[in-house]
Amino acid sequence: MSEQDQLSKNDLYILMESYKNNIQLNTTLLEQQKQLMVMNDTSIQKQKELCNTLDDFIKNISTCSQEILKNNVEIIKKIEESTSEIKNQSALESERIHNKLYIALIGMIGIVISVIGLAIAFAEKFNSLRVLIGK
């Protein structure tokens, strides 16, 4: 072997330093990967918690929605019942008012006929008095 083919101490030292630096770099990278894995696990755990929270939220919203729908149906039934009751009462009151108007009309016709009868009677008496006075 020639002298050029042989490694010098300096070359061997540089090679060993390079190997040492490479091992340190790999160790650092491995530590960073471990930290990333821990952070990733933490992130996954938080995402699971968020999903659970969202599931609970969706269940609560569904329950509230069903309760609101049930209450809405009950309110609509009550409104329809009270509207029907008010409509019936209004119809009864309207009939009562019509009956009272008819009675009042009949009474007024009776009064008018009586007044006409009285006017005729007074006219006849007045005419009789005029005839008596005139004689």
- The CA distance from 65 to 61, in Å, is 6
- The CA distance from 12 to 7, in Å, is 6
Tell me the whole-structure pTM to 2 decimals. Answer: 0.49
Write out the two tokens for 90: 């209004």
In the block, residue with structure tokens 């009285």: 118
C-alpha distances (whole Å) from 77 to each of 24, 65, 84, 89, 90 are 79, 18, 10, 18, 20
Return per-residue pLDDT of the chain as tens, 135 residues.
555 667 788 888 998 999 999 999 999 999 999 999 999 999 999 999 999 999 999 999 999 999 999 999 999 999 999 999 999 999 999 999 999 999 999 999 999 999 999 888 888 888 887 887 877
